[in-house]
Amino acid sequence: MVSASLVTELLTKLEVEKDQWIYDAIKRFDGETYAENLELSTTEERILEIKNSEHSMYQQKKLDLERMELELNTLEEDVEENQRSLEDLEPTLDVLQKELAAYESGAKSLDEIQFEKFRCGLDDQFTFDKKDQVVFKERRISKLMGSYQLVESDMLDFYQRQLAEAWLLLTRSIETIASAVKFDFVTNPPVVEVDLKHGRGLDQYLKPGNFEEDYWIALGTLEWNNSIVYEYYLSQINQFQRNAKEELMQLWDRKHEQKRLADEKVLELQVKNRQMKERMVELKNQVGRAKPEWEQGLLRPKLLEDILKEEFVRAVSGWQEKLLARDASDEERWAYHQYSQIILKQAERIIGNETF
C-alpha cells in the first residue's frame, strides 16, 4: 500500500525542485542578469520572457542593421547622383562664365571707342611773309576756296575714318549675341556753305584787308561746320554705345543671375555631399559595430536552446537514475516518474515539441 504522506512529501519536494534545471540554464546563459527578480514570475514564465526578449533584441538589431545598410546604400546612390549633377553643371558654368566674359569684353570695347574732333586750320595752306601775312601771290579767291575745299575734304575724310573704326568696334562688341541692333550712321550733317564777302570779280585780292576778312570767314565756316559734323556723329556714336551697352548689360545681368543660381546649386550639392559622406563614415562605423552584435545576437537563441537541452537532459538523467535505483521504493519511483513527466511537459513548452 502506497503511503500517502510519503508521496505528498516527495511531490512537495519535487515541486520545489522541478524548476531548478530552468534556473540553472538561466544562470549559465547570462550569469545573474536574467536570474534576478525571479520571484516576480515563475521560472518557466521567466525563461519564456528571456526567449522572447532575446528574439526581440535580435529582431531589433536586425532591423537596425538593415535600416543602416539601407540608409548607407541610399546615401551612396545620392552621392553618385549629386556628383553627376555637379559634373553636369561644370560645362554650364563654363559656358556662363565665357558668356559673361564676352559681354564684359564687349562693354569694354564700347568704352574704348574714341571720337576725336578735327583740327581746322587754313594757315598751313598758305605761305606767310615776314610780317606774318599771306604773300601777295597767294591772296587769291581760287587759292582761298581751293584751300577751304581741301581742308573740308580732309575734315570729312577724318570723320569717315573714325566712323568706320567706331562701326567696327560697335559691331564687334555685340558679335557674341544674337542682336537686332544695327549701327546705321546717318551721314547728312547740316553743314553750311561758305559765303565770302569779297569773293567776286577778279581772282586776286588787291586789298589785303579784303583777303583777311574772307580768310576769317572761310576759317569760321570751317570751324562751324567742323563742330556741327563732330557733334552730329558723336551724338550717334554715343546713342549706339548706350543702346549696345544696355543690351549687353541686360544680358550680363540675366547670365550673372543664372550663374549665381548655378553657383548656389553647386555649393548646395557640395555641402550635401560633404554631409552625406560624413554620415556615410558614421554609418559605416555603426554598421561595423552593429554587425558583430547582430551576428552574436543570432547565436544567442541557439545558445539558449542548447543550454536548455543540456540542463533538461542532465535533470532528466538524474531523476531517471533515482527512478531506476535498486533502493528506490515504489512511491519514489512513482513520484520520480511524475516529476520526469512534468519537466518533459515543461521542456516541450519551453524548447518545442519537435525536440522530443
CA-CA distance, 176 to 109, in Å (whole number)?
Answer: 13
* Same domain, yes or no: 121 and 204: yes
Residue 32 reports pLDDT greater than 70: no
Domain assignment present for 127 = yes
Cell numbers standing for residue 197 = 564777302
201 Cβ partners below 8 Å, 6+ apart?
none
* Same domain, yes or no: 183 and 305: no
Residue 152 is part of which domain span?
106-260
The answer to whether 307 and 27 are in contact (CB under 8 A) is no
Domain assignment present for 339 = yes
* Same domain, yes or no: 76 and 115: no
pLDDT band at 307 (very low <50, low <70, confident <90, very high): confident
* Same domain, yes or no: 110 and 253: yes
Q: Write down the pLDDT at residue 163.
A: 92
Angle formed at CA 346 by CA 335 and CA 35, multiple of 5 degrees: 105
The answer to whether 17 and 24 are in contact (CB under 8 A) is no
* Same domain, yes or no: 223 and 312: no
* Same domain, yes or no: 81 and 194: no
Domain assignment present for 91 = no
CA-CA distance, 218 to 248, in Å (whole number)?
Answer: 44
Higher pLDDT, 180 or 100: 100
Residue 39 reports pLDDT greater than 60: no
User: Which amino acid, residue 202?
Assistant: L
260, 294, 316: which is the final residue of a domain? 260
Cell numbers standing for residue 232 = 552730329
Dump pLDDT digits (tens) for 92-131.
999 999 988 988 888 888 888 899 999 988 888 888 888 8
CA-CA distance, 330 to 341, in Å (whole number)?
Answer: 17
CA-CA distance, 203 to 138, in Å (whole number)?
Answer: 10
Max CA separation in the chain (angstroms): 183
Alpha helices in the chain (DSSP H): 4-17, 20-30, 43-111, 141-173, 208-324, 330-350
Domain assignment present for 94 = no
The DSSP-derived string for 235-269 is: HHHHHHHHHHHHHHHHHHHHHHHHHHHHHHHHHHH
* Same domain, yes or no: 256 and 130: yes
CA-CA distance, 163 to 240, in Å (whole number)?
Answer: 12
pTM over 0.85: no
CA-CA distance, 346 to 95, in Å (whole number)?
Answer: 79
Mean pLDDT, residues 21-30 taken together: 81
* Cross-strand partners of 204: 140
Count: domains in the chain: 2
Residue 183 reports pLDDT greater than 70: yes
Q: Write down the pLDDT at residue 282.
A: 93
CA distances from residue 88 to 84, 106, 272, 275, 324 in whole angstroms, order as listed: 6, 28, 16, 21, 85
* Same domain, yes or no: 218 and 122: yes
Cell numbers standing for residue 152 = 573740308
CA-CA distance, 291 to 255, in Å (whole number)?
Answer: 51
* Same domain, yes or no: 123 and 229: yes
Q: What mean pLDDT value characterizes the chain?
A: 84
Domain assignment present for 98 = no
250 Cβ partners below 8 Å, 6+ apart?
none
* Same domain, yes or no: 82 and 114: no
Q: Write down the pLDDT at residue 355.
A: 47
Domain assignment present for 120 = yes
Domain assignment present for 33 = yes
pLDDT band at 229 (very low <50, low <70, confident <90, very high): very high
CA-CA distance, 100 to 255, in Å (whole number)?
Answer: 7
- Rounded to the nearest 10 degrees, the angle between the axes of helix 208-324 and helix 141-173 is 10
* Same domain, yes or no: 163 and 192: yes
260, 285, 301: which is the final residue of a domain? 260
Q: Write down the pLDDT at residue 1.
A: 44
260, 290, 312: which is the final residue of a domain? 260
Cell numbers standing for residue 153 = 575734304
Q: Answer positive or negative: Cα dihedral of 211, 213, 216, 218.
A: negative
Nearest Cα to Cα of residue 240 among 138, 316, 172, 299? 172
Residue 230 reports pLDDT greater than 70: yes
Q: How many CB atoms lie within 10 A of CB 201?
A: 9
Dump pLDDT digits (tens) for 245-268.
888 899 899 999 999 999 999 999
pLDDT band at 165 (very low <50, low <70, confident <90, very high): very high
197 Cβ partners below 8 Å, 6+ apart?
210, 213, 214, 217
Cell numbers standing for residue 201 = 570779280
Domain assignment present for 101 = no
* Same domain, yes or no: 139 and 211: yes
